[in-house]
Structure 1
Amino acid sequence: MSAYQLLYLDRIPPHAAVNEAVSIAKRRGHAGISGMVNGVLRSMDRGRSELTPSRIKLDDPIATIALRHSYPEWLVRRWADAYGYEVAESICEAGNRSPHASIRVNPLQGSREELLAELGEAGLEAKPSALAPAGIVVESGGHLADMAGFLSGRWSLQDESSMLVAEVVNPSAGMKVLDCCAAPGGKSAHLAELMEGKGKIWANDLHVHKRELIVQQTERLKLRNVEAITGDASTLGERFAPESMDAVLLDAPCSGFGVIRRKPEIKWTKTEGDIAEICAVQRKLLESVCGLVKPGGTLVYSTCTMERAENEEQVAAFLKDHAEFQLDPEWPEELLATFREAGLIEGSFEGQLQLLPQHYGSDGFFIARMSRVR
């Protein structure tokens, strides 16, 4: 712990970290251990400029990246196979950074420009998101969930990448929309805001207690066109009539490796076997809900991971089995311009995109938009 304090933390002065370690060693160890602890830590303190992860070099590049950034080798290997060594290391590095705070403006209660001005007057350091049209990045300030603007429904707390999903669905006022795995309700609420509170959104979740989270969210935002329902998403085809939805959003259960910044334990608790099991669930859900999309309607599939087996390969397998669907590149032009400027889209665009956590400092996210052509 003392070595970690010296190398990675800046609030504890080096001498205090060393003295505390020596004190613990005297209490917990044998007579000579405190001198060894003192010597090792003081040597580390003197050589801190050389003790950097970049100096770790092993014969195996996978082992090198894993050790530098504290990731399991099997996960680094999967990313290296998918994206190459350099990108895999950037993913690991980005996952170890602290997430920044971002909020989504409720356009039914004011514009982003108005809210930016109000936040500035309140002493918060805030700027428009470079990624999400409704997003604001708050770099310093108070506890956002306790502020009057949040409590009155002026904004919601949401990661910038997650804000893109509803934008890609791009619903219109008056539509019928189904959000299959909705809790805690951020994307359902965003859909309702984009629909100007008109039409109908069914926000479904498997768990009863999570339904209450959706209800709380929509009530706080004063959205009246969202109905929170409970049930297994794989049975929604039995609950709703075939071809009855203008749009269906399946934000599918996934490995969650795109949110390691927020949940660092999952890189150690997940296994390769978990990915295979999750893929099977995703396939089942896609098969169960696709029939609810009406001809000419939209199916959006999204995950918060960078696993190609859960993303591009999942979509390719679905489209192979369902000739009535095709990838739809008709995303909002504002989003496409942002991605092209960042070099994430080159040439033609098919209708699916993988965001990595290092691209914008947001969560890793995959989004595919598909249209039903018949």
Structure 2
Amino acid sequence: MSKGKKTVREAALDVLESVEKNQSYSNLLLNHAIEKYGIKGPDTGLLTELTYGTIQRRMTLDFYLAPFINKKIESWVRQLLRLSLYQMIYLDKIPDRAVLFEAVEIGKRRGHKGIASMINGILRSIQRKGVAAIESIEDPVERLAIETSHPQWLVKRWTEQFGIEKTREMCETNITAPHQSARVNTLRITVDELIDRLTEEGLTVQKSSIVPNAIISLKGNLAKTAAFKDGLLTIQDESSMLVGHSLDVHEDFTVLDSCAAPGGKTTHIAQLMEGKGKVFALDLHKHKIKLINENASRLGLGNIESKAHDSRRAGELFAAESFDRILVDAPCSGLGVLRRKPDIKYTKKESDLESLQTIQLQILEAVSPLLKKGGLLVYSTCTVDRNENQGTVKEFLDGNKEFQPFPLTHLPETVQPFVEGNMLQVFPQDFGGDGFFISCFKKDS
């Protein structure tokens, strides 16, 4: 094997190790590994499947492995056992003998003969005896936590908030692969024209049944297309696209997107305004402002102005009552996007959720004086937690009597069944999009 060249399973092992050791995001590491090791074609799909699948099911795999490991083992060995067992249990197309052979070879290369022999012994024992039954766990919350690889505190919290059945549906959806969706840049191309063009590029795509001017890829990576490069589309989840629609913007408006990076919602607002009016985009980090600018430039949107600034101090930049619409897409726990970022499950703590609500309220309090009378303020998150969502909304409205709940009747008809007055809570199982929350308020005239 040439230097620098690795097998797909070795590359997956490297990614899994980095995710656990450095708490790095798997999606970023995955892209890095694909480039670094020159992984191409179907192997890219396999690497993604192995990495995400093993992370998604980590707690289940550890439950299965526990009876077969009777001594302390190195971190990379545990990762290799998880990776191998994932293939044996969840991937029908890969024969066990191929999984065992590769695991032993990696064991020899990364460790020594003794480690390779132990790995072989553990995997062969599992093959012979089978894995423990999850049904043997008596406590329903613990059983669901192990079965769907979600931390027990989270399953308990969701069960208290939404009941066990809704929690089960959500946890089961969270361990399935998400589909890729994109927003069509209708300032440059129609949806039908883009579908034709992507079909010519070899992709299989269809219109979204949920959001106008959106498409879903059934086969092929939209981000790797010439159409993406040419600014004809932008990758965005369908739930996230609802935020732009919730602002009910008009062409001549001045809008503030107070937590804007990487710019998916910013560019959507600018597009809904037909490239007219003005969208001011703030984000705390300079390198993220670069992403917003790159997105705006690729899509040909000249009505966006971005600045690195803490939105909790937005009053330093803008006069009171400067904006027709304000969006607070607040920092949150991200518990609605566990399918796309499965590593979040294992790094979040329950206490994190409380400190996030403080920041969410600080941002709302800071930007609300900047809204014109009669204007709309939209608060959104990519989480499914009642405290961060309905809890934050209640606290804000209780302390700001000049704001009234504003009904979300202007959202697409397809999501109206999920709307409750001025609030929309989307669960991952509702239509296959991310878990998302949107709430709308109007400032008294």
TM-score with structure 2 setting the length? 0.76
Name the Cα RMSD after superposition.
2.1
Cα distance in 1 between the residues matched to 2:123 and 2:407: 60
Alignment map for 1:344-359 (pairs within 5 Å)? 344-345=418-419, 349-359=420-430
Which stretch of the first structure deviates more once superposed, 307-316 or 4-13? 4-13
Encode CA deviations 1:174-221: one digit per residue, 9 max, x unaligned.
100000000111111000000001111101111111111111010111
2:299 corresponds to which of 221, 235, 241: 221
Q: TM (normalized to structure 1)?
A: 0.90
Determine which of 89, 97, 107 is the counterpart of 1:7: 89
Deviation track 1:147-179 (CA, whole Å, cap 9, x = no partner) reads: 221111111011111111011112100100000
Matches within 5 A, 1:190-269: 190-269=268-347
Aligned partner of residue 116 in structure 1, secondary structure:
helix
Q: 2:216 aligns with which of 115, 130, 137?
A: 137
Q: Give the share of equivalent positions with the same residue, in percent.
A: 43
1:228 & 1:331 partners in 2: Cα distance?
30
1:266-305 alignment, distance < 5 Å: 266-305=344-383
Structure 1 residues 43 and 318: CA distance shift in structure 2, 3 A:
same
- Structure 1 residue matching 2:281: 3-state secondary structure: strand
Taking CA–CA contacts closer than 8 Å with sequence separation of 6 or more, which of the two structures ends up with the larger relative contact order? 1
Listed as ranges, the gaps of 5+ residues in structure 2 are 1-80
1:264–1:332 Cα change, 3 Å: same
How far apart in 1 are the matches of 2:168 and 2:331?
25
Q: Which residue of structure 2 lines up, in the alignment, with residue 170 of structure 1?
A: 248
1:63-74 alignment, distance < 5 Å: 63-74=142-153
Kept in 2: contact 1:3–1:41 (CA 8 A): no
What is the distance in 2 between the residues matched to 1:221 and 1:110?
11
Secondary structure at 1:182's aligned position in 2?
coil
2:414 to 313, 318, 338: 338
CA contact (8 A) 1:22 1:35 kept: no
Task: Kindly state the Cα deviation for residue 328 of structure 1 after the two structures are TM-superposed.
Answer: 1.1
Asked if 1:323 corresponds to 2:401, the answer is: yes
Question: Is contact 1:153–1:221 with CA below 8 Å preserved after alignment?
Answer: yes
Check whether the contact 2:381–2:389 (CA below 8 A) recurs between aligned residues: yes
Contact 1:205 1:231 in 2 (8 A): yes
Structure 1 residue runs of 4+, over 3 Å off? 18-26, 29-37
The 8 Å contact of residues 183 and 205 in structure 1, kept in 2 or not, is answered as: yes
How many Å apart are 1:59 and its aligned residue? Answer: 2.0
Provide the residue aligned with 2:124 in structure 1.
Answer: 38
Deviations 1:216-263 (A, max 9, x none): 010111111100111000000221111110000000000011111111
The structure in which a higher percent of residues are helix is 2
Instruction: Give 3-state SS (helix, strand or coil) of 1:260's partner.
Output: coil
Mapped to 1, the partners of 2:298 and 2:117 lie a distance apart of 61
Q: Against the structure 1 CA distance between its residues 35 and 210, is the aligned structure 2 distance closer, same or farther, given a 3 Å change threshold? A: closer
